[in-house]
Amino acid sequence: MAAEGRAPTAGEYIVHHLTHLQNHKPSGPFDMTVLNYDSLFYSILLGVLGCFLLWKAARKATSGVPGRFQAAVEILVEMVDSQAKGIVHNAQSRKLVAPLALVVFVWIFLMNAMDLLPVDFLPVVGELMGVHYQRVVPTADLSITMGLSAGVLLVCLVYNVKIKGLGGWVHELFSAPFGAHPALWIPNFLMQMIEFVAKTVSHGMRLFGNMYAGELIFLLIALMGGAWASVGVGTGIGLAIGHIIAGSVWAIFHLIIITLQAFVFMMLTLVYIGQAHDAH
């Protein structure tokens, strides 16, 4: 991370913490051959953990007075189900869409919550195991959030074909939103493509931007705590106290952010799938 025998500068510290464990360095701004092993590992691990928690709650569900864990999961399930009923009006589709939305919420919440861990904890553990670069917040990786939004797009395309039929959907691509006149086919098609791309990009970018900013602020707060050793006693004590206060306040505020971002991503997933059921 820094030259041997020298502590890293603030810039080196941040760059090191924002560097992924990759199979190779990207050759350009858009290199699809690059794999971020850390993001893949933690996203898969947390996805399995989320599914296990939901399975455990369903397995231990009782008709009597529920425990705290079961009650919390039931409240979450009822919330997601009510949102799905209000947006996706096809009861048959909700059999898949509602559980999908529930998994999306839990999975993204768990990935976001990794930001609440001390910024140096897992990277230091990784250093001891010979892993010199590691980012532990999968949703602060654009490739992960765009992959999630691309998955939602794929589900929307499937439901467009399933609900409207292939011919009906193709007709809609060329006849909406301006009308079915042949002179409007190309503008209609271009508008439809722009809409699909814009929804997918904004869906992934919104989550990525919020989580990346949160990760960066935690790094800056960590630098505040580490700077106390290199300054005078009075200033150092002030920085240490400021580090504790700022870290606590931001962690509490960030807990709201990670929950809200998971909820927003889930709601937009429901909205986009619901739009796939609507005919223009």
The set of catalytic residues is 202, 206, 210
The DSSP line for 98-123 is HHHHHHHHHHHHHHHHGGGS-TTHHH
Three-class secondary structure of residue 89 per DSSP = coil
| φ, ψ for residue 145, nearest 5 deg | -65, -40
User: Which residue matches tokens 């006849």?
Assistant: 175
Contact 38, 134 (CB under 8 A): yes
Q: What angle do CA 112, 115, 121 make, to 5 degrees?
A: 140
Residue 31 and residue 41: Cα distance in Å, rounded? Answer: 20
